[in-house]
Homo-oligomer: A and B are copies of this chain.
Amino acid sequence: MMQAKVKWTGGLQFVGESGSNHAVVLDADSSHGGTNMGMTPMELLLVGIGGCSGMDVASILQKKRQLVNDLEVRVSGTQAEEYPRKFTAIELEYIISGKDVKEEAVKKAIESSMEKYCSVKATLEGVAKITYRYSIINV
């Protein structure tokens, strides 16, 4: 079983600690009564899906011997207007820079992540519609 905990540090600020022994500060922004001293919990979900799928894609492209220099995943989330304001849609945009990186390899790596491997995507897709696009910059 995977473990984490969050500890209140005043106001709406919390320090999150993972079972793997890393920490992160969470806070709400000022429009929600916080002081914007850390990521919001909903932002963590967007970072989580980007990181999860980014790890898959980085790993698969390396196995396919693609010469990737840079890989960035930009993530946008749309929330319902009504509380509890769940994510209704999440879009990922993969930006891959390298040398002779093949589009087919990128396309298949992303598809494998989305369909087979990415645990975060599989957890979020029950509620949020998840879409993606990509661009490849060969220099």
Binding site for B on A (CB under 8 A): 1-8, 12, 14, 16-20, 22, 24-26, 28-29, 33-34, 36, 38-52, 54-55, 58-59, 68, 70-79, 83-87, 116-128
Contacts and interface: CB of A to CB of B under 8 A. Distances in A.
Contacts of A58: 8, 12
Contacts of A29: 20
Contacts of A28: 55
A87 B44 CA distance: 16
A39 B47 CA distance: 11
Contacts of A45: 44-45, 48, 120, 123
Contacts of A48: 26, 41-42, 44-45, 48
Contacts of A6: 47, 50-51, 54, 72-73, 75
Nearest to A121: B84
